[in-house]
Amino acid sequence: MAEIVLAGGCFWCLDAVYRQFRGVESSVCGYAGGDIPDPDYRSVCSGTTGHHEAVKITFDPQVISYDTILDIFFISHDPTSWDRQGADTGSQYRSVIFYEDEQQRELAERAKERAQQLFDAPIVTEIKPLDIFYEAEPVHQNYYALNPAQGYCTFVVSPKVAKARRAFSQLLR
């Protein structure tokens, strides 16, 4: 199994997107990239911790490649917005690929270059080393599946899930 940590706006969105694909063993919502140990949702949303809402995806690279995981990431959010995804604003919504080693950094750079062809505006996704990933509170785990009728899920998460399903239909569970 392999792991990757990605931040692309609200973690509920990326979590819901990745859970639908074969080869994804797990997706965990959490926080990464900041300075404060053991952050919680309230402190991250304050914008003072430096953390981003992120997901840690565990996947089988024999079923779904690292490159495909990154390609899904780029089509599942707007990587051209700085500290914003739709109406969600703040540094916690920044687009970031966290890497654990030089090979992952290089794959992330190449994926960003590939993705740039899909967007007119420059991609602002950061590529940063992963220090620590903190798991979010239980209420945030698998939120979309547990709350499909909630307004945010209906109007924000569902369209992102549908877009990823269309683009990568051959990989659906």
* Helix, strand, coil percentages for the chain (3-state, nearest 5): 40, 25, 35
For residue 66, how many other CB atoms are within 10 A of its CB? Answer: 16
Residues marked active site are found at 10
d(CA 116, CA 114): 6
Tokens at 101, concatenated:
């080693």
The closest of 153, 103, 110, 108 to 7, measured between CA atoms, is: 108
- Three-state DSSP state, 20: coil
